[in-house]
A and B are shown apart, each in its own frame.
Chain A
Amino acid sequence: MLGFQPDDEQKLIRDTVAEFAREQLRPLAHEADESGVFPTSVAQQAWELGLVQSTIPEAYGGVGAESSAVTGSLICEELAWGDLSLTLHMLSPQLVTYPVIMLGTHEQKAQILGDYVGPHFTAGTAAVMEPRFGFDLNELTTTAVQHNGEFVLNGAKCFVPLAAEAAHLLVYARRDNGIAAFLLPQDTPGLTIGEREKNMGLKAVATYELSLDNCRIPASSQLQGDIQPVFNRSRVALSAMAVGVARAAYEYAREYAKERRAFGTAIAQKQAIAFMLAEMAMEVDAARLLVWEAAWKIDTGADATREACLAKNYAATMVLKVADNAVQILGGHGYIRDHPVERWLRNGRGFATFEGLAMI
């Protein structure tokens, strides 16, 4: 039966995460963006909320909570509302844990998951994107060739978050014209982690280029099964974060417009501004519902590829427009870094480009 309200447990989780985002992430966001330094204490605080570890099965030391994409999308929206950079950093372990939980063998789970149930934040990462024009997930240029019971990986990756400190890397590569994922230890010979990248947004999350030069890894390193559902979860996670960033920008612009006065009234009392805000509110809701529907479909076990792709495209377009409108409503002040809206525009621009940068 149709329903548009999170259940009681989801509300509790959402409210807890929302408070964390409001009290912990927001106050740190500006300084983290300016300095490019991630405040490590906040990762530990997030870790203690148990968002990352909760879905790890009991057999591997976790809590064994049900993994729901709908609940995940609620969490992602709230965290990203607080700050996108900090969110991507804090949730980076899921880039490894979720695919392993979904597709891993018992041996892989035993090998990996135990590292993510301890008392301290442990970074993980995945290498998906490639530094080239026309990057296409379906046509990766990083290759994995099977040879004498091993895989040999070659290629280049970019936008790999926390690569320098991640306990485990999951590298996506083309194998026999399909896409496959491989678990790599940090010290794999031939794996080189490049300089930290400099990007327009997401300045507080450390991302790196990787090069893979004849990396030899055991055949047992490959995750088995259909990889597409993994990416659908990533699409939903990123789309939910886009909704969070857009909502932040919309709310900030709305409150500003009620305060800022021109020609004797608040600028929000001018239709030119009021209509922009109305469209922003409507589009944030529209995108959220598309995200929820895709997440819900994932949770039913059905193939949600079409819904996830449509939601991601919609949310990526929406966040850019909403954040841009927010900057516009603040006018010159929106362009000054004392206000957060320009950061949300820079961060929001990434969603049309990102693939596999977050997971729920």
Chain B
Amino acid sequence: MIDFSLSPAIEKNRDMIHAVADGTMRPISREYDEREHEKPTEWLNMMWEASKNLISFGDGKKKASGKAEAVERHLSERTVRSAVLIEELSWGDVGLYLSIPHSALGGAAVAAAGTPEQKERFLSRFRDGEPKWGAMAITEPGCGSDSAALTTTAVQDGDQWVINGTKIFCTSGLMAAEKSEGFVVVWATVDKSAGRAGIKAFVVEHHTPGMTVAKVEDKMGIRASDTAMLVFEDCRIPLDNVLGQAEVKQSTTGFKGVMATFDATRPLVAASALGVARAAVDYVRETFAAEGITIRYVTPQTKLTTLERDFMDMEANLQAARLLTWRAAWMLDQGIQNNLEASMAKAKAGSMVTQVTQKAVELLGPLGYSRKTLLEKWMRDAKISDIYEGTQQINLLIIARRILGYSSQELN
């Protein structure tokens, strides 16, 4: 079926989360943009309680009760649902959304590459107790998009792995490593000569000796979310904390684990970009309405004002990105390979939100540039969507390889 309606269950959740975004996030949005490195503890605690079962990165959270049928329906539209809810939360404030206690990308890696035992061991903690964070550490000072070039090492020593290296740009790294009973999924090589085949993911528990938060970055936007530099110096973890297979085979299954994670997370990062863009579009629409400017959809483009044309472009681009995002999420839920579509969604949403928010600031003139409104903040928040979880360019490269049938050697 070609159908663009959301299920009543998702719509109901969306409306509820919208109320949360509007009522609890917007009021503190500016405050935690300006008080960078401080946390809205009360709000985080509330979200920890309230958001259980609402957003899923495939982290194994299950409804404690309820009919099997309801659970099945819930699972069959899990990613679409997450995409819709993440858009709402990001409409409220994307920095705050990113800081919500959650297994997040670390959890997604465990879900994608871990054994059933590991999923239970690492993810069950997110069902109850105190707020906890999961984090994922891939990027290094010397490599970003080229994650196969990472230099962090994991060496087996008896019944332990010893990890050495430096990781940067780790979202919620501080909260996962030092401020909660969370964990960090660290990508490291067990055999540099094996290239991608030697790359494995390791779960490093909170407060493990040898893991230190060396720095929390100062950023252009998403300031309510901490972005950490983690240093590993002879950091020892149990042998069975490696996700999936420990042996180095002449295959790249470990590395493909990272990529499989991206297929699941890129649509959700795209969904977050939709929320920021919609915040800007809504604001411009309301401002236009207050000024008595109406959008004449049926008027030829050549007769529209620049304001109208720009606004219609913003709306269409937002909706185009949303539909690409929903498609990628829907495919994941249907069990259809979505590598190409996930990258399309991410590339489109990242560039769209960057353009849409910059245009919104332009359209509102001094009002847009002023920190009295949130528009300038959304523009600063937006840009990260074009960068993290794979830059626009890396996603275009993935799209190109897919449509051309090229390997990474043939098109690099």
Interface residues of A, Cβ cutoff 8 Å to B: 1-7, 10, 70, 134-138, 228, 231, 254, 257-258, 268-269, 271, 274-275, 277-279, 281-282, 285-287, 289-290, 292-293, 295-297, 305-306, 309-311, 313-314, 352
Nearest 10 pairs between A and B by C-beta?
A289-B323, A274-B400, A3-B1, A286-B320, A278-B399, A309-B297, A278-B400, A3-B3, A310-B316, A278-B396
Query: When the two chains form their complex, are residues B2 and A4 in contact, meaning their CB atoms are under 8 A apart?
Result: yes
Known: A268-B406, A278-B399, A282-B399. A313 touches B347 (CB 8 A): no
Known: A136-B303, A290-B323. A313 touches B344 (CB 8 A): no
- Judged by a CB distance under 8 angstroms, whether B277 is at the interface is no
Q: Nearest chain B CB to A300's CB is how many angstroms away?
A: 8
Closest to B347 in A: A282
Count A/B pairs, Cβ under 8 Å. 135
Q: Nearest chain A CB to B72's CB is how many angstroms away?
A: 13
Cα distance A254–B331 when bound, in Å? 25
The 0/1 profile, CB within 8 Å of A marked 1, for residues 282-323 of chain B is 000000000000000111111100000000110111011101
Question: B residues within 8 A CB of A282?
Answer: 324, 344, 347-348, 399
Query: When the two chains form their complex, are residues B303 and A268 in contact, meaning their CB atoms are under 8 A apart?
Result: no
Closest to A70 in B: B2
Known: A1-B7, A269-B411. A277 touches B2 (CB 8 A): no
Q: Nearest chain A CB to B248's CB is how many angstroms away?
A: 30
- Checking B4, B315, B327, B404 against A296 with a beta-carbon cut-off of 8 angstroms, the contacting residue is B4
Closest to B9 in A: A1
Closest to B403 in A: A281
Give the most central of B313, B320, B330, B399: most A CB within 10 Å. Answer: B320
- Judged by a CB distance under 8 angstroms, whether B216 is at the interface is no
Q: Nearest chain B CB to A51's CB is how many angstroms away?
A: 19
Interface positions of B from 327 to 349, Cβ below 8 Å from A: 327, 330-331, 341, 344, 347-348
Interface of B is mostly: helix
Query: When the two chains form their complex, are residues B2 and A3 in contact, meaning their CB atoms are under 8 A apart?
Result: yes
Question: B residues within 8 A CB of A309?
Answer: 297-298, 312
Query: When the two chains form their complex, are residues A277 and B400 in contact, meaning their CB atoms are under 8 A apart?
Result: yes
Known: A1-B7, A5-B2, A310-B319. A136 touches B410 (CB 8 A): no
- Judged by a CB distance under 8 angstroms, whether B361 is at the interface is no
The 0/1 profile, CB within 8 Å of A marked 1, for residues 256-279 of chain B is 000000000000000000000000
- Judged by a CB distance under 8 angstroms, whether B183 is at the interface is no
A-B CB contact pairs (8 Å), 16 listed: A1-B7, A4-B326, A4-B327, A5-B1, A138-B299, A257-B404, A268-B411, A269-B410, A274-B404, A285-B324, A286-B320, A289-B320, A305-B298, A310-B319, A311-B316, A352-B301
Question: B residues within 8 A CB of A310?
Answer: 297, 312, 315-316, 319
- Judged by a CB distance under 8 angstroms, whether B397 is at the interface is yes
